[in-house]
């Protein structure tokens, strides 16, 4: 998955970049703050941290100390971490009692914005965490997907395809979060007609280590089984099957070609208003 934000945080907050936040100004005072007084940013989008990388950072801190102070804001008798949670975690692992910090005044909305954008710009979020970050920005800043895509230098389908993953059941989202399933697996699972079977099929993917192509074949088989329960089975020729596969890959959702003696139709499935908008965009259909 491509990383980086294109236009980046500066496109959203041109006067308050991450570099500005972490750059020590003349009026700034770097204070040593007890680790016991620090709490993590409640708006942190990252749910999982790479333990190996944290350990490597802890070893570096033991040897060289903390070169760059973290950024915090005062909240009652505690300090909330704005930027630098990885350094905070590594400092705890290195058995430090205090950490250098710059104290900034920030609103909760600014805390949320910076936490999300810092991770999108600097860290390898999981596809689910990235999708949740986009969802938070859309909800909190009242952006449309199109506006967010332009501001972040991403394509609209890129944003939409990530956010579609949020339609997965919680247990399946967790499998994507911990790396047992890829984003491709997640998108393919959404093409299953019987949505109640998604967790069951996801577990089968993990157990048998199925790749995305194998999962697509399984989903196709399962969907055909569902169709047989309500429709008279019709044998599709090889050309129609190959065309269906191409269309599924193109639209990122389940597509079926149905033919009768004198006519036929193409059915493209969608699972939400945003999903419909994504498909219409691919078809270049202008909405009024």
pLDDT value at residue 272: 73
85 is known as an active-site residue: yes
CA-closest candidate to residue 33, choices 62, 5, 66, 56: 66
Low-confidence residues of the chain, pLDDT below 70? 1-28, 45, 47, 119, 121-124, 227-236, 261, 286-288
Q: Where are the domains of the chain?
A: 9-14+27-156, 168-274
Asked if 198 contacts 174 with a C-beta cutoff of 8 angstroms, the reply is no
Considering the candidates 19, 56, 85, 286, report the single residue annotated as catalytic: 85
Angstrom distance (rounded) from CA 150 to CA 158: 11
Query: Tens digits of per-residue pLDDT, 265-275?
Result: 898 888 777 77
Confidence (pLDDT) at 287: 58
Q: C-alpha distances in angstroms, 136 versus 7, 109, 173, 175?
A: 19, 11, 17, 21
Per-residue model confidence (pLDDT) at position 274: 74
Q: Check: CATH 3.90.1530.30 for 9-14+27-156?
A: yes
Give how far Cα 277 sits from Cα of 25, 53, 66, 273, 274, Å: 45, 39, 47, 6, 5
Name the pTM for this structure.
0.56
pLDDT at 214: 92
């Amino acid at each position: 998955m491509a990383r980086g934000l294109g236009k980046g945080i500066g496109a959203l907050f041109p006067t308050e970049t991450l570099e500005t936040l972490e750059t020590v100004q003349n009026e700034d005072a770097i204070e040593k703050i007890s680790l016991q007084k620090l709490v993590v940013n409640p708006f942190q989008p990252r749910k999982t941290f790479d333990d190996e990388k944290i350990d490597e950072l802890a070893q570096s801190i033991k040897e060289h100390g903390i070169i760059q102070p973290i950024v915090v804001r005062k909240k009652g008798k505690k300090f909330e971490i704005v930027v630098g949670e990885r350094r905070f975690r590594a400092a705890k692992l290195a058995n430090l009692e205090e950490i250098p910090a710059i104290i900034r005044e920030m609103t909760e909305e600014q805390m949320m914005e910076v936490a999300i954008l810092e991770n999108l710009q600097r860290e390898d979020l999981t596809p689910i965490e990235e999708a949740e970050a986009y969802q938070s920005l859309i909800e909190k800043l009242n952006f449309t997907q199109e506006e967010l895509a332009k501001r972040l230098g991403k394509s609209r389908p890129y944003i939409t395809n990530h956010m579609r993953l949020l339609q997965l059941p919680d247990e399946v989202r967790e499998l994507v979060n911990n790396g047992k399933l890829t984003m491709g697996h997640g998108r393919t699972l959404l093409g299953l007609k019987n949505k109640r079977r998604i967790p069951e099929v996801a577990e089968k993917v993990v157990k048998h280590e199925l790749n995305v192509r194998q999962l697509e074949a399984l989903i196709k088989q399962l969907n055909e089984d569902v169709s047989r329960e309500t429709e008279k089975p019709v044998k599709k020729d090889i050309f129609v099957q190959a065309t269906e596969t191409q269309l599924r890959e193109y639209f990122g959702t389940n597509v079926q070609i149905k033919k009768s003696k004198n006519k036929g139709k193409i059915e493209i499935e969608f699972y939400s208003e945003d999903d419909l908008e994504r498909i219409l965009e691919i078809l270049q259909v202008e909405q009024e």
